[in-house]
């Protein structure tokens, strides 16, 4: 653009030097250049306005906002099962709600949130009951094991119930005493008492 302008100016000057007729043409050229400049400036201003969101550009912004709102509403309607293009009827909607509720409950249970004091207490009691049953079962198995193993004295029987399933630094109650009898005996057959053992394991 700058080169073109310079060339035109030179031309105009040459024509001015050439005679009177050249003067008129030079004036026209200048006017044209000024008009072009003004047009370019207007274009630049318009671009700036659009970038900032002023004037005519603001209308476009508003249109975009409206479109976005419409899209959001449509999506909501489809999810809820309203409107002509909605998928699924009332039954499906209820199923989805139920699934969401279940998920929320699961999350709450994991986190321990949203539970009342009563629920928490119930869960604690249940846990304690289970633990007590397990310990009782283990101690009975322990006593039975000690009574069935030859060479183990009555002294080891009393300590066997307490040591089962717990890793302590003290010495083990007897040479044939396994750490976890409920997982298998691991040292061959027990001489007698299989019936009693089966009964305890079932309870």
pLDDT digit string (tens) for 41-86?
888 888 887 776 655 555 778 888 888 998 888 888 877 765 544 4
Q: Is residue 76 part of a domain?
A: no
Buried b (16+ CB within 10 A) or exposed e, 27-65: eebeeeeeeeeeeeeeeeeeeeeeeeeeeebeeeeeeee
First to last CA, the chain: 99
Q: Which residue has the tokens 């250049």?
A: 33
Would you say residue 155 lies in a domain?
yes
Total domains in the chain come to 1
* pLDDT attached to residue 127: 93
The answer to whether residue 35 scores a pLDDT higher than 80 is yes
Tell whether 198 is covered by a domain: yes
Q: Examine the pLDDT at 195 and tell me if it is beyond 50.
A: yes
Length of the chain: 203
> The pTM is what?
0.23
Q: Is residue 31 part of a domain?
A: no
Distance CA 188, CA 133 (A): 27
Does pLDDT of 16 surpass 90?
no
The confidence band for 134, taking pLDDT boundaries of 50, 70 and 90, is: very high
Q: Which domain holds residue 146?
A: 135-202
In a domain, 36, yes or no: no
């Amino acid at each position: 653009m700058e080169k073109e302008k310079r060339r035109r100016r030179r031309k105009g000057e040459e024509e001015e030097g050439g005679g009177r007729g050249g003067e008129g043409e030079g004036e026209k050229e200048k006017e044209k250049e000024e008009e072009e400049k003004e047009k370019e400036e207007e274009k630049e201003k318009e671009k700036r306005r659009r970038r900032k969101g002023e004037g005519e550009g603001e209308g476009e912004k508003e249109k975009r906002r409206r479109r976005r709102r419409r899209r959001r509403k449509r999506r909501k309607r489809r999810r809820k099962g309203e409107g002509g293009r909605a998928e699924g009827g009332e039954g499906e909607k209820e199923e989805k709600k139920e699934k969401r509720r279940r998920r929320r409950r699961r999350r709450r249970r994991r986190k321990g949130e949203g539970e009342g004091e009563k629920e928490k207490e119930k869960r604690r009691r249940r846990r304690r009951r289970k633990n007590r049953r397990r310990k009782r079962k283990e101690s009975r198995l322990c006593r039975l094991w000690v009574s069935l193993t030859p060479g183990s004295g009555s002294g080891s029987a009393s300590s066997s119930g307490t040591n089962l399933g717990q890793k302590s630094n003290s010495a083990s109650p007897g040479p044939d005493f396994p750490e976890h009898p409920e997982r298998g005996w691991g040292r061959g057959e027990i001489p007698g008492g299989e019936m009693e053992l089966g009964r305890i394991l079932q309870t």
